[in-house]
Amino acid sequence: MMAAQSFENLVPRQDPEARLLLLTAKTDLSEDQQSEVQALARQVKDWDFFTETAAHKFSATFAHRHLEHYAPDIPPPEIMEKLKGLSRLTGMATLKVTAAQIAFHKACIETTGAQHAYLKGVALSVQYGRNIADRYSRDVDVLVAEKDFDRVIQKAADIGYRILLEHEPLEYAQSAQDIKFVSRYADVVTLLGADFVPIEVHRRMGKLSLNFNLDQVFETAEPIEVSGVPMRTISKALHLVYVSYHHSRHFWSHLHWLADLDSMIRSSDCRRDEVNELADSIGIRPTIDAAFEFHDLISRPSLWDTIDPALEGGSQFLNACLLNLEGGLELEESLRGGMALGDFMSAWQISPGKYNTFWKNSWFRRLRPTSTQYVKRRYPRFLQWIYYLENASVLMGNGFGRARGRPTKPDQKLPSREASATAADTEGQSS
């Protein structure tokens, strides 16, 4: 496995295949970009790599459309036919997820009257007027207000949804105590219905160090209709801020996220001043600035030759995305091992003066009990305060060891919050 610290020393590919993959991941192309698609397509030598990567990184639909429109006679016919088939599979998979979202909403959100907002995926496509079937989705993400969280989870359990308790080894909640534990402590509860589509119910939007103002999130949530069913999703400005944060946290490892970024930034509803103000209030303005820079680089692959790989901002996002073209989850996890505060590729993504606040948030989040702890030692409710003491002991021990220059012992590692919600985190990469 690649060492996490080696990210800045890795050399991303910049061949015509890579440039064409990122350019054709956009939702729409200008006339200049259409011409560039033709030019790059003529230079491609490995169409199998292009097609397999577009499939693996979920951009086959967009790649097929742009090649069919602007370079139909350049790729081999069998490549175009394969991309066409992959596009159909994308649509079928997403329609299945759409049906699962509607069923969950009617059964668990409407019946409980829960305050909610759907994130990314199908909700994002609907919000921006895109064809749902164009953009691959494999799960559903929904934010539920704290006051309604337990009722939604209990309702789901009552009607037969299985509640994921632990991913490795796979284990589901079996008792009322199990359900109460995840309802009380888990940041994300993953539900599985008969269709096996993961429904990820979030009580917060950040992972460790980042806190979003949830009162503001729900107050500004926008109405949408999914196949005639009314729902709510987060505001367009917040969606752009959240997607920029979330996808950079995953090192831009999937190409359909570029389509999301493109549709949001190119939308007539995108107001940069509103987005900047929101990013400033959260404390991640550099991340948002980098996302806009990244979008510009995606749109103009001819600029890549002039990029200094040591630079921060959009160029680092681009390099991360390019590095991930040839890797899967193992590569991403190795890169994520060196993240700042468990939330950021690099510390420069945090607004000046906010790092200490984010560090404190991260420290306190790590005190909370995890499902990993609970599965190992199922304390009853009245003893679950012990989990906090266990985590505090490990955190202080690790900090003391680092202060003395002593490496942390393997058995002193704090149960990872990502490990306790692996399904929600790794599955959510496809959202």
Per-residue confidence (pLDDT) for residue 309, from 0 to 100: 58
pLDDT bin (cut points 50, 70, 90) of residue 13 is: confident
Average of per-residue pLDDT values in the chain: 89
The secondary structure of 111-173 as a DSSP string is TTT--EEEESHHHHHHHTT--GGGS----EEEEE-HHHHHHHHHHHHHTT-EEEEETTTTEE-
Q: How far is CA 325 from CA 12, 362, 374, in A?
A: 9, 30, 36
Q: What was the pLDDT predicted at 39?
A: 96
**18 phi, psi to nearest 5 deg:** -65, -45
Q: Average pLDDT, stretch 223-234? A: 98
**pLDDT score of 398:** 66
User: Would the pLDDT of 430 be above 80?
Assistant: no
**Are the C-beta atoms of residues 298 and 26 closer than 8 Å to each other?**
yes
pLDDT of residue 390 exceeding 90, the answer is: yes
Residues 174-188: tens digit of each pLDDT: 999 999 999 999 999
Residue 384 pLDDT class (50, 70, 90 cuts) = very high
pLDDT-derived band at 4, boundaries 50, 70, 90: very low
Could you tell me which of 306, 349, 325 has the C-alpha nearest to residue 55? Answer: 325
Average pLDDT over residues 350-360: 95
Sign of the alpha-carbon torsion through 130, 133, 136, 137? positive
Q: Is 12:319 a contact under the CB 8 Å cutoff?
A: yes
Inter-residue contact 50 to 27 (CB < 8 Å): no
Q: Name the band, by pLDDT with cuts 50, 70 and 90, for residue 154.
A: very high
Give strand pairing partners of 172. 164
How high is the pLDDT of residue 124? 97
Q: Which letter does DSSP use for residue 407 in this model? A: P
- The per-residue pLDDT for 426 is 42
Q: Phi/psi at 219 (nearest 5 deg)? A: -65, -35
The region of weakest confidence among 83-92, 330-339, 392-401 is 392-401
Percent of the chain with pLDDT over 90: 80
Q: Evaluate if residue 407 carries a pLDDT over 50.
A: no
For residue range 325-345, list pLDDT tens digits in order: 988 888 888 887 788 998 999
Cα–Cα dist 53/328, whole Å: 10
- 254 pLDDT higher than 70: yes
- Output the pLDDT for position 327: 80
Summarize pLDDT for 293-324 with one digit per residue, the tens.
999 999 999 888 777 656 789 999 999 999 99
Residue 422 pLDDT class (50, 70, 90 cuts):
very low
pTM over 0.85: yes
Q: How far apart are CA 83 and CA 161, in angstroms?
A: 35
Cβ–Cβ contacts within 10 Å for residue 132, how many? Answer: 18
Please report which residue ranges of 250-354 form alpha helices under DSSP H: 256-266, 272-282, 285-299, 314-323, 329-336
Q: What is the percent of the chain where pLDDT is above 70?
A: 89
Q: How far apart are CA 67 and CA 180, in angstroms?
A: 51
Whether residue 406 has pLDDT greater than 50: no
